[in-house]
Amino acid sequence: MNAGQREAASAVRAAIPSVVATLTDGAFYELVLLAATRAGRGPYAAAAVVGAVAGGVTNFTLNRRWAFRATSDPLVSQSARYAVGSVMTLLVLEAVLWVIVGRLGFDARAAWLPAKLFTWVAFSYPFQRVVVFAGAER
């Protein structure tokens, strides 16, 4: 397998845990909104935090073991880098949700998926690929 094929395979492997983590994230986001509001404009920021934590644990575990096959780095340092990236990703997600919900007036439930996709493409995946799992085999 040449370098381009290895990189493509790595990207596909990274997308699968991201989808699983995003589904986990979304389920928790929806549950918090459902529990806290009737109108869909409730505590979207708190819902995003809960979803991000649940999705982050799922994503880190699947990426470390399967997608990037990056188990040779020490767990503590790798998880610390991931935690920094997760906080940064959360801030990007919160900003995007603030624009879509808080400024443009969209329903918080409808805003979640486009905000999540934009955040993953623009920040989360590049950070994980370049910083968290940089030394992983491809």
Inter-CA distances, 69 with 34, 41, 61, 107, 123, Å? 37, 40, 10, 38, 21
The residue ranges of every structural domain in the chain are: 3-132
Average pLDDT over residues 16-43: 82
Q: How far apart are CA 26 and CA 44, in angstroms?
A: 12
Predicted confidence at residue 116, as pLDDT, reads 85
Predicted confidence at residue 95, as pLDDT, reads 96
pLDDT in tens, 34-88: 887 765 556 778 888 888 889 989 999 999 998 888 888 999 999 999 999 989 9
Q: How far apart are CA 102 and CA 44, in angstroms?
A: 10
Q: How far apart are CA 93 and CA 105, in angstroms?
A: 16
Helix boundaries (H) for 1-138 = 3-36, 44-62, 75-97, 108-119, 125-127
